[in-house]
Structure 1
Amino acid sequence: MLSILHTETKNFAENYSIPRYAIILLEDANEFSIDFVNYKNERNSILFLSPYQNLKWFGKSSQKIKLIEFHGDFYCIEYHKKEVACNGLLFNNIYSQPYILLGACKFGELEELIEKMAIENKNKITFSDSVLKSYLQLLLAICSREKALQIDDALIEQPFEKQLFKFQPLLEEHFIQQRAPSFYANVLAMSTSSFSKKVKQQFGKTPTKLIQERVVLEAKKQLHLTYKSVKEIATLLNFDDKYYFSRYFKKEVGLSPSQFRQKVGISVVAK
């Protein structure tokens, strides 16, 4: 349910995608894509992946990394959202980069914590799972605090343009019914071309990509956090039928909604 590996990027498949959450410590600078959006991190970074996100490494040389993978049945980030607000901040956050930069001291602190986790996971003595969950929760809490601080700092250094500041809540309100960038551009009194350019500059993604990711994120939440049928979820998300929804989902995720639910499971907090 939880694994810790010291590995290299060369050991990953061409497109890495698993049914578990992943935390990757990146001591060196790397180039990679997450769900086909390109990123380039600096040294001493930590990357967060949700189940069935697509990761692809670039670059000619392989880099050493530390990898933690855990299943939602081992540690449910939704169940622990009061203790660690990492869901929507570290994981499942479509509006910011999927990694955070750490100073050398903080990076070393997390490396030591992960080494303790690796020892505990290897020995498997009495109460090991409880200790591992505590270590993992501490790791997530530290990273959530760092991410929140960095987001605040970024807004001070490069505040959102007045119009774009309204885009995120607008998308959250209308993504189910409105999937055309022109709708959001019109509401914000911008031309579609100008809106698309500014969104790409601010978020690193096109409006179409953000809308698609928001729809898929909601689909994943419904599949993992509820007992609704695929047909019910398709209707909820305003798809004409479950077959169109399944094709849309599979194109973005790489497997059908039913396969996703089977692999990831239904959460203990499902209603």
Structure 2
Amino acid sequence: MRYEYKDPKLGSILGLTDDIKNDNLRFTSTENTIKFLWNRNEAPLTIIVDDLELELEPNQLVTVTYLQYVSFSKTDLPLSAILFNREFYCISDHDSEVSCNGILFFGTQDLPIISVPSDQLKKFNLWFDVFVEEFATPDNIQGDMLQMLLKRLIIMSTRLAKEQLIVKTLKNDQIDVIRKFNYLVDMHYKTKRKVSDYAEMLFKSPKTLSNLFSIYNQKPPQQIILERLALEAKRLIHFTDKQNQEIAFDLGFNDPAHFSRFFKKMTQMTPSEYRENTLEVA
């Protein structure tokens, strides 16, 4: 089962499949798309994100963005997926509606794996059935209806993520600061590497941010920034043909030697050693 809605004038795409491994290349385009990956089986399955194996238990879903490298080479069961691009629904423009950035998407922490509780499974399955039904109703408001249903999924998933992934003792405004920080780091890590840069954008003091992340029992903000930079360096080394000097400049380092020192400090390997190691593993 594969459905696709597209608007050539806007370049917008929305896709739905119950087997993304087989259908991934059958969509008009999957580049620059955000994906919900949902294990609707009764057994766990494996996906690979940024070269790390990730096991999804039954009725778990995870979100990935176009910043990540996803492989289904080890996925041996049908994996349902919903994919969409910015032209179909821009989560940044609609963040005030769905409050998902930094929680579901564009966060610097671990991948947001969400478990659908048994008491909510009926609601999620009903949403899926209505989504499928709407694809079979082509009319002049189909795009609006599909967008509304996608927004519903984002809201339902964000609520679960806040319950399952974020300390419940935090107030909503504290959660909002954390998710906005994560989002801003994902957007600006190449050019802004100090906590004070993000504190200024969030109208907070650096100390307030550090204290909040301490309450949240998470890594310090400065470490999150540096680890995001190191993650992108590893992605570029592993998944592109760019040389170390190119990667250094791409990531905002004026001196390749400075980049090499930074990378070794973060990974205990030089960029060249990391490249050789990944080739050996491959």
TM-score for both structures, normalised by structure 2: 0.54
Distance (whole Å) between structure 1 residues aligned to residue 191 and residue 131 of structure 2: 41
1:90 is matched with which residue? Answer: 104
Task: Verify the 8 A CA contact 1:175 1:215 in the aligned structure 2.
Answer: no
Unaligned 5+ runs, structure 1: 157-167, 180-198, 218-233, 246-250, 252-271
Q: Compared with structure 1, are the counterparts of its residues 125 and 216 closer, same or farther at alpha carbon in structure 2 (3 Å cutoff)?
A: farther
Residues paired across the two proteins, number? 190
Deviation at residue 34 of structure 1 after TM alignment = 1.2
Runs (4+) of structure 1 moved beyond 4 Å? 10-13, 153-156, 171-179, 206-209, 214-217
1:131-142 to 2 correspondences below 5 Å = 131-142=145-156
- With 49-58 and 91-100 compared, the bigger mean Cα shift is at 49-58
Deviation at residue 56 of structure 1 after TM alignment = 2.0
2:78 is matched with which residue? Answer: 64
1:5-16 to 2 correspondences below 5 Å = 5-7=17-19, 9=21
Unaligned 5+ runs, structure 2: 1-12, 171-180, 195-217, 236-248, 260-270, 272-282
Distance (whole Å) between structure 1 residues aligned to residue 104 and residue 70 of structure 2: 16
Deviation at residue 111 of structure 1 after TM alignment = 2.3
Distance (whole Å) between structure 1 residues aligned to residue 147 and residue 49 of structure 2: 26
Distance (whole Å) between structure 1 residues aligned to residue 158 and residue 147 of structure 2: 16
- With 86-95 and 132-141 compared, the bigger mean Cα shift is at 86-95
**Counterpart AA for 2:230:** Q
**Counterpart AA for 1:138:** R
Task: Verify the 8 A CA contact 1:33 1:55 in the aligned structure 2.
Answer: yes
Task: Verify the 8 A CA contact 2:189 2:229 in the aligned structure 1.
Answer: no
1:4 is matched with which residue? Answer: 16
Q: Compared with structure 1, are the counterparts of its residues 152 and 116 closer, same or farther at alpha carbon in structure 2 (3 Å cutoff)?
A: same
1:33 is matched with which residue? Answer: 48
Distance (whole Å) between structure 2 residues aligned to residue 70 and residue 130 of structure 1: 14
Distance (whole Å) between structure 2 residues aligned to residue 213 and residue 80 of structure 1: 27
Deviation at residue 66 of structure 1 after TM alignment = 1.7
Task: Verify the 8 A CA contact 2:45 2:76 in the aligned structure 1.
Answer: no
Query: Per chain length, whose mean CA-contact separation is higher, i.e. which structure has more relative contact order (CA < 8 Å, sep 6+)?
Result: 1
**Counterpart AA for 1:21:** I
Deviation at residue 207 of structure 1 after TM alignment = 9.2
Tell whether 2:62 aligns with 1:47.
yes
Task: Verify the 8 A CA contact 1:89 1:144 in the aligned structure 2.
Answer: yes
CA offset digits 1:211-263 (Å, max 9, x no partner) = 3347899xxxxxxxxxxxxxxxx79x63339xxx9xxxxx9xxxxxxxxxxxx
TM-score for both structures, normalised by structure 1: 0.56
